[in-house]
């Protein structure tokens, strides 16, 4: 992995690692942090799930009177437009999180996200006020995108800094596992709402107003999430970095950079990260956000069958992601990425062929084949994005890298895929689109250095026990994962011990 900060500012090892340098994380605080951070990703993907699975219904609701095919593109553009402002959210909220702390920014993003999702459920329809209602719909999607720009990058940074180094892959993978659960719950809510509403009020029930129910449920979910986030502690690595900065003894790697300097010092890591996220994003958003529309419009699969299959496959993915994350802690990030990229190159064309058989078994098998490589990508996203950059500028760097790539490539996947199908007439075009980015990601994997189980750049080792810290100190001369030139070698401040953040 490139380390541009080290090539720009060579550092020397000032002293040896000592046991008191290590952060020993309290397990109860780690669990609290995991739940508080994960709930935001759950709600983010809940919204993506309900919007994706209601795309056909929302086309009739918000583009009534427009040509059906054009209306579908307008609806999918509403999904894509939220990603236009995601980089802006990352560029503003990321550096702000490096300045005032991860916890405060994550509290803000949660409130904005839940409020915007709920408000969509209160909008009038095109039949009531005309096609201009698309404007407030797009504005609310953009507001969601802005908050999301600071949400995942902040949550991934927060959990990566809070996790013991040897378990970071597993701990950060749980974020995306929660995301898939959020999407599955969103799809499940849509399926149950559709079944109950049509049974009670007829086939037009969803169009007549039942579509609002999944969006309005974001209100109680948001209240719960905000309550949980109000109780999470700050990242111990961020606190130590702040203490180092306040001491006046600051080496270049520990400087909090602004946006221009982030690009100046860390452009190699940004390029690697963007390539990985492009493959990750196109693969995951194909499965979660475009597949329902594709199966309904191109294959003719009933919406209920599609939703049930998606919930089943996404629940399996939620289970698989942390397993792969744990595996990456043991064998490394690069082997897992290699499996993910090659998996997409081999499995996607057979998966799309199976979809067009049109049977229930082929539908489940096809979605399973699309899901597996996506799970391997998602298992590594939080860990690797955080491992690419040093603590002082990590939130800003991850915010720029992740949101720029996910916005340009991931979020536009449903829209671009539909356009490719319409323009080329080739129903396999979406598969080729994903395969291209997987090939690019494979090149990026060859350029990155292995980062599993190493202390984060700009941070001291984070361990789960004092015995583990003592073992690191004892073996530091022979342990290739220990490089004190990248560490803040000061004892953990006494106030962290008093608060129970470390022990």
pLDDT of residue 458: 83
Range from 26-30, 47-51, 235-239, 316-320 carrying the lowest mean pLDDT: 235-239
Q: What's the number of domains the chain is made of?
A: 1
CB 212 within 8 A of CB 128: no
| pLDDT, tens digit (0-9, with 9 covering 90-100), for 442-483 | 999 999 989 998 998 888 889 888 888 888 888 888 888 888
Q: Express as a percent the part of the chain with pLDDT over 90.
A: 28
Answer yes or no: is pLDDT of 122 > 80: yes
Tokens coding 125? 């329809």
What's the CATH number where 350 sits? 1.20.1250.20
Range from 208-222, 246-260, 322-336, 436-450 carrying the lowest mean pLDDT: 246-260
What distance lies between CA 274 and its chain's CA centroid?
Answer: 13
Answer yes or no: is pLDDT of 434 > 90: yes
Instruction: Please tell me which residue, 243 or 249, carries the higher pLDDT value.
Output: 243
CB 36 within 8 A of CB 473: no
φ and ψ at residue 453, rounded to 5 degrees: 65, 15
Whole-angstrom distance, CA of residue 302 vs CA of residue 288? 17
* pLDDT tier at 354, thresholds 50, 70, 90: very high
Other CB atoms within 10 A of residue 249 CB: 11
* pLDDT tier at 244, thresholds 50, 70, 90: low
H helix intervals, 286-425: 291-294, 303-331, 333-355, 360-387, 394-405, 413-424
CA dihedral 6, 9, 12, 18 (to 10 degrees): -60
What percent of the residues of the chain are helix, what percent strand, and what percent coil, each to the nearest 5? 80, 0, 20
Domain residues for the domain of 314 are: 4-499
Tokens coding 314? 């996404």
| pLDDT, tens digit (0-9, with 9 covering 90-100), for 283-340 | 988 887 788 778 888 888 877 788 788 888 888 999 999 999 999 999 999 999 999 9
Mean pLDDT of all residues in 4-17: 48
Whole-angstrom distance, CA of residue 150 vs CA of residue 396? 9
Work out the mean pLDDT of the chain and round it to a whole number: 84
Other CB atoms within 10 A of residue 56 CB: 18
Q: Which residues contact 353 (CB under 8 A, 6 or more apart)?
A: none
Mean pLDDT of all residues in 204-220: 89
pLDDT of residue 336: 97
Whole-angstrom distance, CA of residue 183 vs CA of residue 193? 15
Helix (H), strand (E) at residue 463: strand 462-463
pLDDT of residue 346: 96
Answer yes or no: is pLDDT of 149 > 50: yes
């Amino acid at each position: 992995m490139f380390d541009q900060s080290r090539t720009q500012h060579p550092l020397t090892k000032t002293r040896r690692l000592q046991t008191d340098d290590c952060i020993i994380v309290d397990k109860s605080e780690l669990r609290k942090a995991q739940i508080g951070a994960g709930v935001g990703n759950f709600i983010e993907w809940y919204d993506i799930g309900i919007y994706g699975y209601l795309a056909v219904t929302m086309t009739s609701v918000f583009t009534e009177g427009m040509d059906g095919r054009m209306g579908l593109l307008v609806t999918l553009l509403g999904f894509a437009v939220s990603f236009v402002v995601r980089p802006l959210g990352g560029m503003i909220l990321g550096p702000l999180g490096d300045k005032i702390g991860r916890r405060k920014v994550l509290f803000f993003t949660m409130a904005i996200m839940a409020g915007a999702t709920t408000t969509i459920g209160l909008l009038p329809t095109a039949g009531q006020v005309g096609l201009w209602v698309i404007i407030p719909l797009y504005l609310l999607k953009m507001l969601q995108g802005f908050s999301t720009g600071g949400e995942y990058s902040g949550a991934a940074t927060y959990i990566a800094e809070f996790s013991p180094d040897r378990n970071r892959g597993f701990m950060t993978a749980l974020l995306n596992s929660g995301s898939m659960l959020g999407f599955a719950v969103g799809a499940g809510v849509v399926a149950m709402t559709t079944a109950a509403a049509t049974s009670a009020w007829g086939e037009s029930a969803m169009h007549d107003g039942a579509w609002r129910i999944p969006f309005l449920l974001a209100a109680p979910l948001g209240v719960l999430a905000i309550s949980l986030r109000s109780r999470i502690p700050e990242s111990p690595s961020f606190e130590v970095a702040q203490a180092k900065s306040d001491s006046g003894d600051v080496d270049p790697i520990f400087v909090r950079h602004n946006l221009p300097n982030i690009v100046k010092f860390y452009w190699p890591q940004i390029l690697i990260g963007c390539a990985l996220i492009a493959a990750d994003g196109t693969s995951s958003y194909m499965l979660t956000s475009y597949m329902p529309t594709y199966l309904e419009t191109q294959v003719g699969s009933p919406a209920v069958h599609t939703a049930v299959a998606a919930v089943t496959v996404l629940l399996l993915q939620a289970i698989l992601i942390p397993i792969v994350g744990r595996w990456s802690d043991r064998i490394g990030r690069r082997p897992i990425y290699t499996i993910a990229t090659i998996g997409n190159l081999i499995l996607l064309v057979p998966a799309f062929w199976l979809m067009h058989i049109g049977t229930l078994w082929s539908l489940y098998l096809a979605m399973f084949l699309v899901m597996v490589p996506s799970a391997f990508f998602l298992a590594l996203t939080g860990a690797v994005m955080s491992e690419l950059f040093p603590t002082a500028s990590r939130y800003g760097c991850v915010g720029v890298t992740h949101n720029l790539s996910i916005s340009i490539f991931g979020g536009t996947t449903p829209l671009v895929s539909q356009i490719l199908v319409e323009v080329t007439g080739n129903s396999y075009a979406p598969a080729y689109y994903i395969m291209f980015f997987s090939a690019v990601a494979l090149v990026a994997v060859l350029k990155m250095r292995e980062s599993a189980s190493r202390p984060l750049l700009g941070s001291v080792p984070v361990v789960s026990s004092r015995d583990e810290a003592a073992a690191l100190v004892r073996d530091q001369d022979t342990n290739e994962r220990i490089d004190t030139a990248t560490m803040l070698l000061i004892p953990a401040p006494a106030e962290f011990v008093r608060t129970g953040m470390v022990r």
